[in-house]
């Protein structure tokens, strides 16, 4: 596959260009699939990512800080996993729910906001950097907490909500072929459909991981640990999460469009053949 290199100014890159870069796949030409904006948008104070499971929120959240040091990924999933690894009080309360694949209840959502998310946002804004919030919009309570924070900070007009979309067939295929590092200090996520996975070394103690779409030999993460298939990486799980999002979160996004800048990006096409310098 032809490699394409795109040079950018890391200090002055607008969110428009970052979205454009994320939304490109190289097939000998650039194929832009962002349905948003033909104009340049100044870098926002806060970016909020929303979307169905496996639409690429985590990938997008990691991508922007890689191309500009003005962004910091506020990854709720990683924060929760860290609390579980360190056996904190919050971690012990969250662990059973997290491992079952269910959403936290209202009480725990409020604790997670007060103890983890809110502090991280304040610290990031204090550094004059833009937090990219990934994984927190899961209920009306979560939305209300975040909306109040943004309103109190008086940055509604300079906040950006990005909704990542992909059809149900694509999301189901992704969740069935997702693999996660078994090293709890790493927990890197891969997908067997993407080139990054093919470059990994085969495990000497390989086990066959089989599902509807994938038959492959287990591989080693870059950290050296084996990869595994999460118990909740199932078609049923994907469908349940999608129904929850459509019922509980989609109406909130309609409200949010009146308060924040808004972008919608179709992530059916991935970013892994895009090279940034």
pLDDT digits (tens, 9 = 90+) for 65-85: 877 788 899 988 888 888 888
35 confidence band (pLDDT: 50, 70, 90): very low
Q: How far apart are CA 169 and CA 86, in angstroms?
A: 37
Give the angle 19-24-26 at the CA atoms, nearest 5°: 160
Task: Find the mean pLDDT for residues 24-46.
Answer: 45
Q: What sign results for the dihedral spanned by CA atoms 222, 77, 125, 21?
A: positive
Q: How far apart are CA 130 and CA 113, in angstroms?
A: 18
Task: Find the mean pLDDT for residues 122-142.
Answer: 92
Q: How far apart are CA 41 and CA 107, in angstroms?
A: 37
Each residue's pLDDT tens digit, 145-196: 999 999 999 998 889 898 888 889 988 888 888 888 888 777 788 888 776 7
Domains in the chain, CATH or no CATH each: 5-170+233-276 (3.40.50.300), 171-228 (no CATH)
- Residue 173: which of 246, 238, 228, 267 has the closest Cα? 238
Q: How far apart are CA 21 and CA 32, in angstroms?
A: 8
Residues 6+ apart with CB under 8 A from 264: 34, 35, 36, 162, 163, 165
Mean pLDDT over each residue of the chain, to the nearest integer: 75
Query: Mapped to the 3 state alphabet, what secondary structure does the chain carry?
Result: CCCCEECCCCCCCCHHHHHHHHCCCECCCECCCECCCCCCCCCCCEEEEEECCCCCHHHHHHHHHHHCCCEEEEEHHHHHHHHHHCCCHHHHHHHHHHHHCCCCCHHHHHHHHHHHHHHHHHHHHHCCCEEEEECCCCCHHHHHHHHHHHHHCCCHHHEEEEEEECCHHHHHHHHHCEEEECCCCCCCEEECCCHHHHCCCECCCCCEEECCCCEEECEECCCCCEEECCCCCCHHHHHHHHHHHHHHHHHHHHHHCCCCEEEEEECCCCCCCCEEC
Q: How far apart are CA 32 and CA 71, in angstroms?
A: 22
Give the angle 104-185-182 at the CA atoms, nearest 5°: 85
pLDDT for the residue 13: 47
Residues 6+ apart with CB under 8 A from 107: none
120 confidence band (pLDDT: 50, 70, 90): very high
Q: What is the pTM of this model?
A: 0.77
Q: How far apart are CA 215 and CA 192, in angstroms?
A: 10
């Amino acid at each position: 596959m032809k490699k394409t290199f795109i040079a950018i100014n890391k200090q002055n890159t607008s969110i428009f260009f970052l979205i454009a870069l994320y939304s490109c796949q190289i097939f000998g030409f650039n194929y832009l699939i962002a349905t948003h904006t033909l104009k340049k948008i100044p870098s926002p104070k806060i970016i909020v990512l929303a979307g169905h499971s496996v639409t690429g929120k985590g990938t997008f959240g990691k991508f922007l800080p890689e191309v500009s040091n003005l962004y910091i990924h506020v990854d709720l999933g990683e924060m929760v996993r860290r609390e579980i690894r360190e056996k904190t009080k919050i971690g012990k309360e969250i662990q059973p729910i997290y491992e079952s694949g269910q959403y936290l209840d209202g009480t725990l959502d409020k604790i997670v906001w007060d103890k983890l998310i809110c502090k991280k946002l304040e610290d990031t804004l204090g550094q004059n950097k833009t937090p990219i919030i990934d994984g927190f919009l899961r209920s009306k309570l979560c939305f209300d907490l975040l909306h109040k924070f943004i309103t109190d900070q008086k940055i509604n007009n300079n906040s950006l909500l990005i909704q990542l979309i992909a059809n149900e067939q694509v999301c189901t295929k992704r969740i069935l072929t997702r693999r996660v590092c078994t090293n709890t200090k790493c927990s890197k996520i891969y997908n067997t459909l993407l080139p990054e996975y093919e470059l990994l070394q085969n495990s000497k103690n390989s086990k066959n991981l089989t599902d509807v779409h994938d038959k492959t030999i287990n591989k080693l993460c870059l950290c050296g640990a084996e990869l595994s298939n999460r118990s909740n990486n199932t078609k049923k799980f994907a469908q349940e999460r999608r129904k929850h999002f459509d019922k509980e979160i989609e109406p909130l996004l309609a409200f949010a469009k009146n308060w924040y800048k808004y972008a919608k990006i179709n992530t059916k096409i991935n970013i892994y053949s895009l090279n940034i310098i």
